[in-house]
Amino acid sequence: LAPRLKVYEAKLDRVLFEQDIVAPEDKPITVTFRAHLPKGRPNIEVYNEVPGPSNLPRSGRHGDTPFVSTKMGRIPWQLKLTDEEGKPRYPFLILDSVTWRGPIVTDEEKARRAEYFPVSEGDLGQVREGLGRLAKRAFRRPVTDAELDHFTGIVKSELAAKEKFPDAVKAGMLAILCSKSFLFLTEGDTKAPRATLNDWEIASRLSYLLWSSMPDDELFKLAEQGKLRDKAELSKQVARMLKDPRAVHFTDAFATQWLRLRKVGMFPPDKKLYPDYDKTLEAGMIGESKAFFHEVLRQNLTLRVFLHSDWSMMNARLAQFYGLPDAGLPRDGYQRVSLPAESRRGGLLT
């Protein structure tokens, strides 16, 4: 087994990054990843997810806990880490250094942010235009004049209270982001009840169902043109969105609820009978089910495949555990593989 690097943010209770590390000590590699962290001092923890001897206790006893060390840190003294030939007895991970860099803002992000700020300080006309663009995107629909009057009025009241111009503009933006129209998917109109959704509401329903995020520029454009209520166009957009990488949010959420994948691991097998079973393998099995569901949906396969198939979604670790060839399989992620004729692993029930 290869050591598996996991970077965890304790305050957020969120895994920022994880990956198998396949590199000898004399040929180290650099691992780079991007993560979104809130402002402040993060609480970052680094783990090796593959079990081995712990380098923490000095009682002479060792636990079945992951081992990670730094070149400046203490080497575990309880057990030998290498055999007589110098080969590691446990998959251990050596970190030379950890470097953080940020904030990372792309030119595209800078240009988009600039759309909402006035070019000339003190120009309330530009303030109103910028707030209008932000509110339209935040609310996922056109903004009424009454709403714009309200948000612009907040900026004016802040300026009257002698607040600095940038801070006053930010107050108007904050009001938009605190609005129920941003926080919730509001549909219909109490003043003019209607029985059908409009194009903007259809765009939001689609995007949050399939992507767990707001509509993209194409959906917004079609909503503005009033084309999303056309059945042919709607079918075309659903097909496009399911092919998009963001559709993994839908397949993950649906498969997790449908198959009750959160309950996997509630009753782990006996480690003496199954010493290779660990949290990484458990996570791989959960991911296998999600990847299988995603493949069935992406290829528009029959529901019978869930009961029986001659293929499955694998990575190298799962293939090793199942006793199948692992050559060419990724260590992270999943790849569709054909199963031997005598295999009974096809379908979700196996």
Span of 40-49, 73-82, 122-131, 213-222 with lowest mean pLDDT:
73-82
Tokens 């790849």, residue located: 335
Domain spans of the chain?
1-104, 109-183, 199-254, 265-338
Quote the pLDDT of residue 349.
64
Q: Does the pLDDT of residue 186 top 70, yes or no?
A: yes
Distance CA 12, CA 165 (A): 33
pTM of the predicted model, to two decimals? 0.72
DSSP state of 58: -
Residue 145 vs residue 63, higher pLDDT:
145
**Which tokens go with 125?**
């006309």
Distance CA 314, CA 295 (A): 12
Contacts (Cβ under 8 Å, ≥6 apart) of 44? 7, 8, 9, 10, 16, 98
Mean pLDDT in residue range 105-119:
86
**306 in Cβ contact with 348 (< 8 Å):** yes
Mean pLDDT in residue range 216-225:
97
Quote the pLDDT of residue 86.
67
DSSP letters for 269-320: PPTTT-TT--HHHHHHHHHHHHHHHHHHHHTT--GGGGT--SEEEE-HHHHH
